[in-house]
């Protein structure tokens, strides 16, 4: 019985340390994970590819992002890539999907930073609020 208790305690400690290690390796969208230029490129892709079915207002009131809270930018991009555009899912370059998500982050008032989001950093970016209406880049 003592061995079982000791083993359980050790396993719980290892699991907690692993979770803390994972949290240290991630960063929040609130820390500026994209650049303004990247969001502008994303706005151009959105305008060219998405605007025929979607309006920016569908994604910029915080409700859309609330549905992604707790997930990673990778999760978001992979779902969008697998389902959009509706008539040809996955047809954009991966970088274009990343740029569109940068635009969606900007629409929700998430701060821009000094470095671009790239395909190698997506799993480390946690989506979390608060969200607020941001700048619609079509109104340049």
Summarize pLDDT for 93-114 with one digit per residue, the tens.
999 999 999 999 999 999 999 9
> Which DSSP state fits 49?
I
Residue 16 has pLDDT above 80, yes or no: no
Q: Give the model's confidence band at 115: pLDDT under 50 very low, under 70 low, under 90 confident, else very high.
A: very high
Q: With the C-alpha atoms ordered 129, 135, 136, 137, is the resulting torsion angle positive or negative?
A: negative
CATH of domain 27-139: 1.10.760
Task: Write down how long the chain is.
Answer: 140
Say what the pLDDT of residue 67 is. 94
Cα separation values, 84 from 10, 50, 88, 131, Å: 45, 8, 7, 23
Whole-prediction pTM: 0.80
Q: Give the model's confidence band at 127: pLDDT under 50 very low, under 70 low, under 90 confident, else very high.
A: very high
Domain ranges of the chain: 27-139
Say what the pLDDT of residue 61 is. 85
Q: To which H or E segment does residue 76 belong?
A: helix 73-83
The predicted-structure confidence for 32-70, as pLDDT tens digits, reads as follows 999 999 999 999 999 999 999 999 989 988 899 999 999
Say what the pLDDT of residue 10 is. 53
Burial of 46 (0-12, 13-18, 19+ CB in 10 A): buried
């Amino acid at each position: 019985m003592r061995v079982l208790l000791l083993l359980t305690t050790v396993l719980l400690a290892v699991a907690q340390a692993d979770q803390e290690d994972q949290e240290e390796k991630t960063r929040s969208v609130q820390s500026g994970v994209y650049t303004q230029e990247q969001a502008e490129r994303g706005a151009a892709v959105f305008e060219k590819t998405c605007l025929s079915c979607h309006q920016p207002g569908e994604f910029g009131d915080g409700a859309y992002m609330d549905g992604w809270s707790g997930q990673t930018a990778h999760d978001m991009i992979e779902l969008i890539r697998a389902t959009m555009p509706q008539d040809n899912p996955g047809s954009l370059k991966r970088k274009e999907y990343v740029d569109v998500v940068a635009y969606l982050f900007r629409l929700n008032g998430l701060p821009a930073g000094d470095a671009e989001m790239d395909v190698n950093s997506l799993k480390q970016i946690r989506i979390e609020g608060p969200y607020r209406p941001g700048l619609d880049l079509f109104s340049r």
